[in-house]
Amino acid sequence: MSHSLIHKITIPQYGDARGGLSVAEIGGALPFVVRRVYWIYGTQPGISRGFHAHRKLAQLAVCVSGSVRFRLFNGEREEDFTLTDPALGVLISPMIWHEMHDFSPDCVLMVFADAEYAEADYIRNRGEFIQTKRE
Ligand code: TYD
């Protein structure tokens, strides 16, 4: 039995009768020091994104509104997971090919990253990714 590619992180909630409140902090839900945060929203119908891996970057993705389906691929196996819970994160480790599909119109996907943007860190070709994993 192989381990799941989907590494989920439960984000503590302090919601009450007034509504939700979730917290990601070092020593808690954040597994690394965050150096960059970006968010994806207003994704048009039928659009999928991602289709790349990062050489060194680690990321934590939280769907703070709506839903989105993640597809992760480690070069051998592919797994899907739909994020619907604003108190759940999915870890995107280095050298994991990732795709995002089925964005709901109200999806806001917030991503915490452990480094600043660097195009050189991307592998955007699936064949090159598989080859690099084998090296
Ligand atoms: P990209 O990561 O390529 O998104 P996707 O793979 O889902 O299409 O980012 C799209 C564009 O935005 C690309 O031109 C790079 C730019 N970008 C930044 O400049 N900084 C960032 O932190 C991110 C995530 C993207």
Q: Is 48 in the pocket of ligand 1 (CB under 6 A)?
A: no
How many domains are there within the chain? 1
Q: Which two tokens stand for residue 106?
A: 């109200």
State the residue range of the domain holding 56.
27-134
Measured CA to CA, the distance from residue 62 to residue 91 in angstroms comes to 9
Q: What is the CATH number of the domain that holds 49?
A: 2.60.120.10
Q: Please check whether residue 7 lies inside any domain of the structure.
A: no
Q: Please check whether residue 10 lies inside any domain of the structure.
A: no
| Order of strands across the sheet that contains 97-101 | 78-83, 68-73, 97-101, 49-54, 122-123
pTM: 0.96
Residue-by-residue pLDDT tens, the chain, 135 positions: 578 999 999 999 999 999 999 999 999 999 999 999 999 999 999 999 999 999 999 999 999 999 999 999 999 999 999 999 999 999 999 999 999 999 999 999 999 999 999 999 999 999 999 999 998
Q: Please check whether residue 12 lies inside any domain of the structure.
A: no
Q: Please check whether residue 11 lies inside any domain of the structure.
A: no
Q: Which amino acid is at 84?
A: T
Residues serving a catalytic function are 52
Q: Is 38 in the pocket of ligand 1 (CB under 6 A)?
A: yes
Q: Please check whether residue 96 lies inside any domain of the structure.
A: yes
